[in-house]
Amino acid sequence: MHIVTLRDPSSAVQAQFVPDAGMIGVSLTDSGVELLGQRRGLDAYITDAKTMGIPILYPWANRLGANSYTAEGVTVILTPGSNGVRPDPNGLPIHGVLAAYPRWRVTVESANELTAEVDFGADRDLLESFPFPHLLALTVRLSAKTLTVRTVVTPTGDRAVPLCFGFHPYLRLPGVPRNQWVIETPPLRHLRLDEQGLPIGETARQGSCAEPLGDKAFDDGYDEVAEGAVFAVSGGGRRIEVHFEQGYPAAQIFAPPTEDVVCFEPMAAPTDALRRGGYRAARPGDSAVAQFAIRV
């Protein structure tokens, strides 16, 4: 596989992406120190969709509440194990259909920038699971110790395209015990989830906070994330920020107690919005843009 290495011209930060494996980000280093959780590695992502690094969750982030949905007047029946659909332990479709998708087409590759795209309208299997023809373009750029990830969705048919995707950056602070990590979050609205990880409709306001991660575990959903909101993890003289710059009004925070990783997941819509509604859409004749950045 062709692994693309991006180099920041102004610092020792480097990043690596693999277009042939779903355009996944597999590495983000500062002076050779790895800042992304490798978990089970790239091979497990390719064979079993076990996430690591920075995967794109497309066209829906996290799980759906059933193996069917109705959006933009179209009802879709999903078949777990087919057309890219992966089930979670409860049998619910999770993280969309592009895990390790091999047919991204690279359009731009330079020392510090990479663009690749997927034509949904040209792939029958993708359309079976998400029948909204469009061009998906993903650009990653490394500059000033900041990895910027820009997603553009352009409809290619006469049907609007629901925007329910997201990303799952696994961040780590090597050499610093997890219980000493400090996480910072902006003002948010917390979404109460059921035992399957689905919103139940109850919410609670939450002010900005900075607190030690300690022995806490997170798998929590949020919405009403303001544009420009910043999430961060710091410790041992290092700080990593995730900036929700545009088009990500929802988030998930994931920090399992058994792993030294924390994720601030930019989401274009809350979990299960493809079934429940409340998402934005890219309209024919226009494009929708979403952008976040990871700053070291």
Q: Three-class SS string for 22-61?
A: CCEEEEEEECCEECECCCCCHHHHHHHCCCCCECEEECEC
Domain enclosing residue 113, as ranges: 4-295
Number of domains forming the structure of the chain: 1
Q: What is the CATH number of the domain that holds 274?
A: 2.70.98.10
Q: How far apart are the first and last CA of the chain?
A: 27
Q: How far apart are CA 177 and CA 214, in angstroms?
A: 9
Task: Give the pLDDT confidence of 234-288 residue by residue, as tens digits.
Answer: 999 999 999 999 999 999 999 999 999 999 999 999 999 999 999 999 999 999 9
Q: How far apart are CA 263 and CA 179, in angstroms?
A: 15
Task: Give the pLDDT confidence of 163-203 residue by residue, as tens digits.
Answer: 999 999 999 999 999 999 999 999 999 999 999 999 999 99
Task: Give the pLDDT confidence of 192-232 residue by residue, as tens digits.
Answer: 999 999 999 999 999 999 999 999 999 999 999 999 999 99
Q: Which residues pair with 68 in a beta bridge?
A: 77
Pick from 219, 233, 222, 147: nearest CA to 191: 222
